[in-house]
């Protein structure tokens, strides 16, 4: 068994099971609801989706697979949660150190689960066999996802299990009970990720096919997206609790029909004395890069591109490329004659290159020397590897970039001017992950494809 091993699963429209066939009082649901909700601007546990709060919805999900012992970890504004906890039969684990990070809340919940047995468990096995780690930020995970984790737990009782959507890791994490003491004893940096990294050969990524496992409401925009997703599920199948279960065309397919999509890599950047890890470090174009942008504009003119907009990453190297193209193109998007005004340049953060966290912008030789073991792991686990909590892997990048494409398609639809062409200026990583999705290629097959600076990929959906 290797880290990041993918277990494919076509979920289908399964009914939510109510019995406790797979689990009893020895499985515990931990709901983390202790944080400040500062980025959200409202108290997340009590935000409503449909007609119930996030906390109540997650409680129902756990009960839907027979998890009868649920512990809610509280901290900030705990008094507001007391009535909901009591009504739902959720035990409280108060974390006085909630402002020190999520890991302290995980420890508080596990500590309570080990130290206090509920009255209903008298005479039964009370030591948990495992924990569902549920974040109040992620309230739409359907019960059938937990069912799949439980089935896999039966096969792999010592494995950490994480549900995924198109390779991107989501929630909840299933933690085997055998790791409880190790988690409680750990006091170093990195939190739970440091624990799972110790046992990387025991982490299984379970593909679910439902976006619900990766949607979170850490920000107002995330909350709006969750509400929209919930409504879309309800409209589509009448039962938003079952989750979208596949079998439908990708959301981009119809929107691209009849159009041409141009994906352009930014021009060459100012050079360093040696190679760096270049992700979201912001570096401007070189003179050669600006010339490559002008050449890209000439190629768009030659192909008769018709659009009044150019979408781009907001990083300097891409934005400057897009602006140069906009100023240089001569063809009017409608008549084909010389344009009197340049095209609108629309920056989107979603089209930024992959974030490399602490390694971003540093010399590769330096990283190889300082982190030899991590550098080796990156080479062996290129699709899934991340260093630190602020970095991304290729699955994260793909999910984000496709969100960007969907945003572009929505803006094109709202523009309503009938432009048949879409132009996006971005980075090689972004372009390759978009191509892997649009062409239905394995990510491992696509990411090694070289796209030169100023290079262009055309995907023609006009026929």
pLDDT, tens digit, 9 for 90 and up, residues 29-88:
999 999 998 888 899 999 999 999 999 999 999 999 999 899 999 999 999 999 999 999
Which of 237, 271, 303 is at the close of a domain?
237
Q: Are residues 313 and 177 in the same domain?
A: no
Sheet hosting strand 344-348, strand order edge to edge? 344-348, 309-313, 421-426, 260-265, 456-460
Q: Are residues 146 and 277 in the same domain?
A: no
pTM above 0.85, yes or no: no
> Is residue 243 in some structural domain?
no
Q: Are 441 and 435 in contact (CB under 8 A)?
A: yes
Which of 202, 237, 272 is at the close of a domain?
237
Q: Are residues 430 and 330 in the same domain?
A: yes
Q: Are residues 205 and 337 in the same domain?
A: no
> Is residue 390 in some structural domain?
yes
- Residue 282 banded pLDDT, cuts 50, 70, 90: very high
**Cα–Cα distance for residue pair 162/109, rounded to 1 Å:** 19
**Cα–Cα distance for residue pair 240/214, rounded to 1 Å:** 16
Alpha-carbon radius of gyration of the chain: 24
Predicted pLDDT at 237: 54
Predicted pLDDT at 11: 35
- Residue 214 banded pLDDT, cuts 50, 70, 90: very high
Chain segment 310-320, per-residue pLDDT in tens:
999 999 999 99
Q: Are residues 222 and 102 in the same domain?
A: yes
**Cα–Cα distance for residue pair 291/86, rounded to 1 Å:** 66
Predicted pLDDT at 249: 57
Q: Are residues 426 and 456 in the same domain?
A: yes
- Residue 117 banded pLDDT, cuts 50, 70, 90: low
Q: Are residues 444 and 338 in the same domain?
A: yes
The pLDDT of 396-406, averaged and rounded, is 96
Q: Are residues 215 and 310 in the same domain?
A: no
> Is residue 245 in some structural domain?
no
The pLDDT of 277-289, averaged and rounded, is 96
> Is residue 189 in some structural domain?
yes
Structural domain span for residue 59: 5-237
Is 51 or 337 the better-scoring residue by pLDDT?
51
Mean residue pLDDT across the chain: 87
> Is residue 210 in some structural domain?
yes
CA-based nearest residue to 323, from 336, 337, 335, 309: 309
Domains in the chain, number: 2
Q: Are residues 338 and 390 in the same domain?
A: yes
Q: Are residues 161 and 37 in the same domain?
A: yes
> Is residue 222 in some structural domain?
yes
- Residue 246 banded pLDDT, cuts 50, 70, 90: very low
Q: Are 408 and 424 in contact (CB under 8 A)?
A: yes
Q: Are residues 182 and 279 in the same domain?
A: no
Q: Is the pLDDT of residue 342 over 90?
A: no
**Cα–Cα distance for residue pair 319/313, rounded to 1 Å:** 6
Residue with tokens 């933690």: 175
> Is residue 247 in some structural domain?
no
């Amino acid at each position: 068994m290797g880290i990041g091993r993918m277990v494919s699963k076509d979920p289908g429209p399964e009914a939510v099971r109510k019995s406790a066939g797979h689990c009893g009082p020895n499985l515990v649901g931990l709901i983390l609801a202790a944080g400040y909700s500062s980025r959200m601007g409202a108290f997340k546990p009590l935000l409503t989706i449909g007609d119930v709060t996030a906390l109540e919805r997650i409680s129902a999900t756990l009960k839907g697979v027979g998890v009868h012992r649920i512990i809610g970890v509280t901290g900030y504004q705990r008094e507001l949660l007391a009535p909901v906890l009591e009504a739902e039969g959720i035990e409280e684990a108060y974390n006085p150190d909630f402002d020190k990070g999520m890991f302290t809340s995980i420890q508080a919940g596990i500590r309570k689960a080990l130290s206090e047995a509920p009255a209903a468990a008298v005479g039964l096995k009370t030591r948990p066999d495992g924990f569902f780690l549920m974040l109040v930020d992620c309230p739409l995970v359907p019960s059938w996802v937990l069912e799949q984790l439980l089935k896999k737990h039966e096969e792999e009782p010592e494995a950490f299990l994480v549900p995924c959507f198109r390779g991107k890791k989501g929630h909840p994490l299933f933690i085997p009970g055998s790791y409880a003491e190790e988690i409680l004893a750990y006091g170093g940096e990195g939190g739970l990720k440091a624990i799972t990294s110790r046992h990387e050969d025991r982490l299984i990524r379970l593909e679910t096919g439902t976006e619900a496992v990766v949607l979170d409401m850490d920000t107002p925009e995330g909350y709006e997206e969750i509400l929209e997703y919930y409504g879309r599920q309800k409209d589509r199948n009448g039962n938003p609790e079952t989750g979208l279960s596949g079998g439908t065309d990708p959301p981009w397919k119809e929107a691209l029909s009849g159009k041409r999509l141009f994906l352009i890599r930014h021009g060459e950047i100012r050079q360093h004395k040696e190679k760096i890890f270049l992700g979201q470090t912001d570096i401007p174009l070189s003179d050669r890069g600006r010339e490559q942008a002008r050449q890209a504009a000439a190629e768009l003119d030659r192909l008769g591109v018709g659009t009044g907009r150019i979408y781009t990453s907001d990083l300097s190297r891409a934005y400057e490329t897009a602006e140069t193209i906009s100023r240089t193109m001569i063809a009017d998007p409608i008549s084909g004659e010389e344009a009197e005004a340049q095209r609108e340049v629309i920056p989107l953060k979603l089209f930024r290159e992959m974030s490399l966290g602490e390694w971003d912008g540093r010399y590769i030789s330096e990283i190889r020397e300082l982190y030899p073991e991590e550098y080796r792991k990156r080479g062996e686990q290129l699709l899934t590897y991340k260093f630190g909590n602020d970095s991304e892997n290729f699955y994260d990048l793909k999910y984000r970039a496709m969100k960007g494409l969907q945003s572009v398609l929505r803006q094109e639809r709202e523009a309503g001017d009938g432009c048949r062409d879409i132009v996006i200026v971005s980075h090689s990583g972004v372009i390759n992950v978009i191509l892997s999705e649009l062409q239905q290629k394995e990510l491992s097959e696509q990411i090694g494809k070289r796209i030169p600076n100023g290079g262009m990929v055309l995907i023609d959906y006009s026929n």
